[in-house]
Structures are given as C-alpha cells and as structure tokens.
Amino acid sequence: MSRLQPWSRLHPPTAGRRRGMPRPRPLRRRPGSRTTRRRSRTSCWDTSTACSWPRTSTISTITTRTTPRCSPPRSRSSRSSPTSPRARAGARSRAPTVAASPTPAAIHRGKKHFYGDDLDAEEGRCSKHSAAAAIDPDHLVRDMMDKVLLCNGEMCSKGVRELREALQHDVGKHSHGGHGKESGHGKGRGKKQPKKEVIDLETLLIHCAQSVATDDRRGATELLKQIRQHASPNGDGDQRLAYCFANGLEARLAGNGSQIYKSVVMTRFPCTDVLKAYQLYLAACPFKKISHFFANQTIVNAVEKAKKVHIVDYGIYYGFQWPCLIQRLSTRPGGPPRLRITGIDTPQPGFRPAERIEETGRYLKDYAQTFNVPFEFQAIPSRFEAVKIEDLHIEKDELLIINCMFRFKTLMEESVVAESPRNMVLNTIRKMNPHMFIHGIMNGSYNAPFFVSRFREALFHYSAIFDMLETNIPRDNEQRLLIETALFGREAMNVISCEGLERMERPETYKQWQVRNQRAGFKQLPINQDIMKRAREKVRCYHKDFIIDEDNKWLLQGWKGRILMALSTWKPDHKSSQ
C-alpha cells in the first residue's frame, strides 16, 4: 500500500479526466488502475478480439459476397488455452460478432441496390468493388429475377398467378373481417355500434387547393389540419391518396416541393425490394404485363427473318422488359438474331452518370449468355432531346426498332419552351427511319398551366390508381407502401408542388399524342388482332374491373372506365415528310 502513495500523489484520480467521462476507480485497487486499462485496450486491438471486430463489420458485409464467410480472429489466449476462463469469456464476447455476419438478405439490403451514387460513402468508403456488384447475379437475386422477368409460355405465369390468388384471398378476408372487427366475435352482437363520421376528403382537397392557389394561407392551413386528421399512409385507398396529396399541398405552401421531389428521386432501394414490388404490381394489375407483351410480341413478329436487330430504348431504366424478349428470340426457328440494345436514360447525379444504365446492360448481357443470344449493349446517359443519330451507330444491314414505354411524359412541351423537346425527339426518331416505333403513353389530362384545374384532374387520375391498389392488394402489404410512396406519391408530389421547368410530370391523352405523332411525320399502324385477342385473355386472369379496349388503333388499358395507359405502333410516313 505504501508503494502506491507516490503514484497516487503524482496522478490523482481527477487528473487528466475529460469532461463527460466517468470518474475512475480509486488507485488502491490495482485491477482498475490506469496502467491496467491502457494495457487491456492495447492487447484487445493487437489480438483482434471482439473489441475491434465490430469496427470492421461494415467491411465484412462487403467482402463476404465474394469470399467464404469466416469467423473473427481468435485471441492468443483463446488459441493457447481453449478451456481457460479467459478463453470462455472471449468466446462469449465474440458471440454477438459472429451473429452479425451478413445473411444473404442482409447482403442484398446492405449493398445490392439497383442504383445509387454514394454507396461508398454509406459503406464507410471501404469497398473498391465495381458498379457490377449492384446487380450481382448470385443465386438469390437471379432466382427472383428469373421468376419475375422471364416468361414460361403460360397465359398467367405460375408465380404471378399464385401471388394474385393469395392477394385476392387476403383482400377478401380483410374486407369481410373489417365489418365485424368491433363486435368482439359475436359477444357484442346486440350492442349498437357507433356511426363512423363520413368525411369527403376529395372535396376538402379541392377546397384546400383553391386556397393555396389564392395564397390564402390561413384557410389552407385549417383545411390541411382537417385533412391530416383523416388521412393516413396506412389507411384505405382514399386516406392514402389524401395523405399523398396533402404532402404535395403542404410542400407547395412551404415552397420546398422541388427539394422534396429531388430527395425522393435520389432515394435508393435494394434490388430485392424493387423486384418484390414489381412482382406485386404484376400480380395485382395487368398494365405492365400487357404493355411488355404488346411490345415484345410486336418485335418478335417484325424480326421473324432478320439476322441483325437493333432496339433503341428511350428510358430503359432497369430494362425489365427485355429478358423475356431475349428468351423468346433464343427459341426462334433458324436460330436467334444478333441483338443490339441501345439504352437511353437521363444521367444519374454524381460522378457516375451512366452507372444505372451500365448495370442494366451487364445483367441483360448475362441473360443473353444464358440463352445463347449474340448480344451487344450500348449505354447513353443523356437527355432524350440531346441524343443525335450519330450517337447510335446505326448499321445499314440491321433492322431498327424504337421503343419507348411511358417515358415521354417527362419531356417539356410548347407551353414551357418554344422549341419543344417532344417534337425534337420525334423528329430525331423519324430521321432514323426505323422499321417500327412502339409508343406507350400514360393517358392523363393533368398538364394544364392552371394549378386548380391540374390538381383536380390529377386527383381524379390517381384516385383510380389508389382505388385499384386498394381493391387488389391488402393494406398491410409492405410492397404496396413502396409502390404508393416511391412511384405514385413521388409523381403526385411533382405535379402538385412544382412549376415551370421543375415540373417533370406532363402527360397527355392518347388523342393528343396521336395528333403530335402525325404532325411529326409518322403513320400509325393497325393493331395486330391476334395480339389484341391474347391481351384480352391475359386480362381475364385479373379483377373484373380492369378494362382493355381498342380505339383509333390504340390499345387502351384502364380501371373502372378511366383510361390510364395506351399503346400504339408507328412508322415514318415518307409521303407526309416530303
């Protein structure tokens, strides 16, 4: 005890103690002295025990994709004496670290995104993997992509049909169980149930939009407060729609709608979540399935004897349309043609503008190798109106097909700029002289320059979409929330809260597009009746309120009488262009 007195005088317990740190134990207790604690920290880092392993857990999440899963390095004491108390304590301290080893689901959620520009920053800038890791065709993701994206020759694919039947069962169960939920399973059968207050959210939203348009902030705030009391992102279809539109009105009042929209656009989602949401959308509604079938079957009929095929896809995005086409071309009598796909899409912000398009090309190339189809992919990250014919490297002996599914709605029209990008793109396509131009459009009339008129039309359009989701998908489905917020909620936010060049969502009706295409020098082709017949058969697998019809050589798709999408085929009209 006398030997410790000089040390305690030189280093009293409060010397060198930082603010906020706990007071150290008295120095007369040798195991808790400063020297012992410093030595324990040093030995902990030297031996790479559980104290240092959590700091490298982020690195292990990345490296274990390509390397076998390994346990943390054992300390020297544990190697020398496995049965010693120190080894048993070390094993207990390492147990949580071993449990933190990434499972396949954790790997996909940690790194596997379809797009993203700051992944290195999120992962601590520890990985130098190429962008190919974003769509790494390992077993889990590849099996899911095969199940969702490939066609198996059935009228309704097995996986989608099973999911649709499960959805219908869940929706029916919730709809029948919702009425008797408050009755206590029959115990309160004789009790009088309180009447629910009926709120017309649609009228409240329109009145609120009128107050916002006239800059009546007090009235708009009061109406928003009433809407918020009855709106919910997890309620029924009307409540979810009111929640999304209330967010847009609130952002317009605050003047930060553009910033919110950009932040939502920059949000990254794991590829497994995107595939699950896409599969859910295919199972709940036939719009995408019919659109891809219409385009792919038209291409298959057109390239029946062609040896070289070049497809230019405006707005390729994830390229979900093309694996099924590659599969079908592989079974063509006489062998598949040489296939070239040029993917055009807007560049991503950041240092890698072509990252998402290049990722799409890599997994499409993998599918082409699987089905033995000669394949070539070119990525063009650019605005649609800035693409020149020289950028496409069109060859004379190849059959050229232009494809655009629902992406021209983001192009500006004459009301914004004098030289319309829509007309510029159509003129460029006509000069390419393609064999065929496949055009899919979102049928909407919420492109008016006046806010209240645009708001009302957007409300009617999205009310049909949210009612369709409410009818076909249970409310507690996580992927439904992703579809509503990341897709339709984002679009509604842009329509309501943005103006001028910042308003990207500018759809037109199919009749307006018909006049525009004809003025640009295109001739509309008749719809193949065999394709129309098979499309009607596919729609029968879905809810009875889905409609499919034909008008003026357009294939129309909608819900409960409202047309939401339209498809058509065109070719350059050389007589009108002369």
Q: Is the pLDDT at 105 greater than 90, yes or no?
A: no
pLDDT band at 195 (very low <50, low <70, confident <90, very high): low
Contacts of 195 (CB under 8 A, 6+ apart): none
Percent of the chain with pLDDT over 90: 56
> Does 225 have pLDDT greater than 60?
yes
Residue 96 backbone class (left: φ over 0; alpha: ψ -120 to 50; beta: rest) = alpha
Q: What is the pLDDT of residues 440-451, one digit of tens each?
A: 999 999 999 999
Of 329 and 128, the structure prediction assigns the larger pLDDT to 329
Average pLDDT over residues 472-500: 93
pLDDT at 194: 55
User: Rounded distance, CA 195 to CA 197, Å?
Assistant: 6
Q: Once rounded to an integer, what is the mean pLDDT over residues 459-473?
A: 96
What pLDDT sits at residue 134?
46
Confidence (pTM): 0.73
pLDDT(56) > 90: no
What's the average model confidence in pLDDT over 429-447? 96
More confident: 24 or 2: 24
pLDDT at 402: 98
Running DSSP on this structure, what letter comes out for residue 113? B
Can you give the pLDDT at residue 180? 38
Does residue 131 register a pLDDT over 80?
A: no
The predicted structure's pLDDT at residue 122: 33
Instruction: Name which of 36-50, 157-171, 423-437, 532-546 the model is least confident about.
Output: 36-50
Rg over CA atoms, the chain = 30
Structure tokens at 179: 């009425």
Which pLDDT value is given to residue 84?
A: 44
1-10, 338-347, 413-422, 475-484, range with the lowest pLDDT? 1-10
Model confidence at 71, in pLDDT bands (50, 70, 90)? very low
- At residue 172, the pLDDT reads 66
Give 242's contacts (C-beta < 8 A, 6+ positions apart): 201, 204, 205, 227, 230, 231
pLDDT for the residue 408: 96
- Banded pLDDT at 415 (limits 50, 70, 90): confident
For residue 146, pLDDT beyond 60 = yes
More confident residue, 279 or 126: 279
Average the pLDDT over 132-158 and give the result: 66
Q: Given phi > 0 = left and psi -120 to 50 = alpha, else beta, which region is 255?
A: left
Instruction: Supply the pLDDT for residue 147.
Output: 82
CB environment 246-261: b (16+ within 10 A), e (fewer): bbbbbbbbeeebbebb
Catalogue the E-assigned strands of 320-374: 338-345
pLDDT at 551 over 80: yes
Average of pLDDT values for 210-234? 96
Beta-bridge partner residues of 558: 547, 563
**What pLDDT score does 192 carry?**
55
pLDDT band at 154 (very low <50, low <70, confident <90, very high): low
Mean pLDDT of 404-433: 94
Q: What is the pLDDT of residues 556-566, one digit of tens each?
A: 999 999 999 99
Do residues 138 and 65 touch, judged by C-beta distance below 8 A? yes
- Residue written as token pair 């859910």: 280
